[in-house]
């Protein structure tokens, strides 16, 4: 069996879509969405993997059940998708000696105190989504092999459902908004996650075949998020302020966004108050210097302005 392309799951999610670009130096990945492989059916997933006519160069799993509130009433599907299927993928990768990359969340932590969490410190999820991701993390780490598990927080991108896009949409429509300032975390663009994934893949796939993954290697669990910290309230004010300064016609001004102090108890799932992640391990292991969160958020607004045609270099058309 010859070597195949990288297998990418969750290819239509916000991270998956970004990964399709960042993985392209190794050829087009075999991109599976829900239609190609339903992770709520781990047995079918195993069959599908075993039927592949090649060994993938690596497996990258960006699929996840991410509907945090709905997970409270869909525990079984959530656990199958976030815990059982990742274990199937990890086993397939380990048994073939290939790299497995997967992603996890700040929601595995209990959210107490104000200190950044270190990897594996104080895992005590407050909701079903967090429980399912933690079960998946523990399962894939126990399976072992060449695993890179990146735990991140507050993910956003120019595509998909995320807070940053929602804020800009609301800012077009509304004169006032209230945002939570009790939860503290770090907004993470998918480009940072995909960029670091590509960097690690490059080191692994670029190594001479006989030394790939030999020795202890850098495998295991890492936190990955930008530097600094913020609240949903501050993040929304930053986005609206930068967009207006760039010329995007928004009804809402940053000063129209009022801070809400209490947790939204009307939502089915509780959220952690402290989502700060200590990223020293990944920086030291891979020689990274992670940017402040405002760098990615500023770029997000720049791209939005270009897309809206109100700023940026003029293209040929």
User: Closest CB to ligand NAP among 201 and 305?
Assistant: 201
Residue 9 near residue 63, CB atoms below 8 Å? yes
Give the binding range for ligand NAP (CB under 6 A) out of 56-64, 178-186, 226-234, 296-304. 56-64
Complex with ligand NAP: residue 60 or 248, whichever CB lies closer: 60
Interface with ligand NAP, residue 127, by CB under 6 A:
no
Closest approach of Cβ 74 to ligand NAP, in Å?
10
Tokens linked to 270: 């509780």
Q: Are 136 and 205 in contact (CB under 8 A)?
A: no
Catalytic residue among 103, 109, 129, 222: 129
CB of 311 to ligand NAP, least distance (A): 27
Give the three-class secondary structure for 106.
Answer: helix
The percent helix, strand, coil of the chain (3-state, each to 5) is 45, 15, 40
Classify the C-alpha dihedral 302-303-304-305 as positive or negative: positive
Pairing between β-strand 184-185 and β-strand 230-231 as defined by DSSP bridges: antiparallel
Cα-based distances in Å from 299 to 241, 259, 276, 291, 303: 13, 25, 22, 12, 6
Residues 195-254 that bind ligand NAP (CB under 6 A): none
107 as an active site residue: the answer is no
For ligand NAP, what does the binding mask look like between residues 276 and 315, x meaning CB under 6 A?
A: ----------------------------------------
Q: Which residues bind ligand NAP (CB under 6 A)?
A: 10, 12-16, 34, 38-40, 62-66, 81, 103, 105, 133, 152-155, 160
């Amino acid at each position: 069996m010859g070597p195949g392309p990288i297998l990418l799951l969750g290819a239509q999610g916000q991270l998956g879509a970004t990964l399709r670009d960042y993985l392209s130096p190794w050829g087009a990945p075999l991109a599976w969405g829900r239609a190609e492989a339903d992770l709520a059916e781990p047995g079918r997933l195993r069959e599908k993997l075993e039927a592949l006519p090649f060994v993938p160069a690596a497996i990258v799993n960006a699929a996840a059940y991410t509907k945090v509130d709905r997970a409270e009433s869909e525990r079984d599907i959530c656990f199958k998708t976030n815990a059982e299927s990742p274990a199937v993928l990890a086993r397939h990768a380990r048994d073939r000696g290939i790299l497995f990359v997967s992603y996890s969340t700040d929601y595995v932590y209990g959210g107490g105190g104000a200190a950044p969490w270190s990897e594996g410190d104080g895992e005590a999820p407050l909701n079903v989504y967090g429980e399912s991701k933690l079960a998946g993390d523990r399962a894939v780490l126990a399976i072992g092999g060449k695993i890179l598990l990146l735990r991140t927080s507050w993910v956003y991108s120019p595509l998909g459902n995320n807070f940053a896009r929602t804020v800009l949409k609301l800012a077009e429509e509304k004169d006032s908004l209230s945002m939570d300032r009790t939860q503290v975390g770090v907004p993470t663009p998918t480009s940072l996650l995909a960029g670091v994934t590509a960097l690690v893949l490059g080191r692994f796939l670029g190594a001479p075949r006989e030394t790939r993954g030999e020795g202890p290697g850098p495998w295991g669990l890492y936190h990955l998020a930008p530097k600094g910290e913020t609240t949903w309230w501050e993040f929304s004010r930053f986005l609206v302020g930068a967009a207006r300064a760039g010329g995007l016609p928004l009804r809402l001004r940053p000063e129209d966004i009022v801070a809400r102090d209490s947790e939204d108890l009307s939502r089915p799932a509780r959220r952690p108050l402290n989502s700060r992640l200590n990223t020293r391990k990944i920086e030291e292991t891979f020689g990274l210097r992670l940017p402040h969160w405002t760098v990615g958020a500023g770029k997000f607004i720049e791209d939005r302005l270009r897309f809206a045609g109100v700023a940026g270099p003029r293209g040929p058309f």
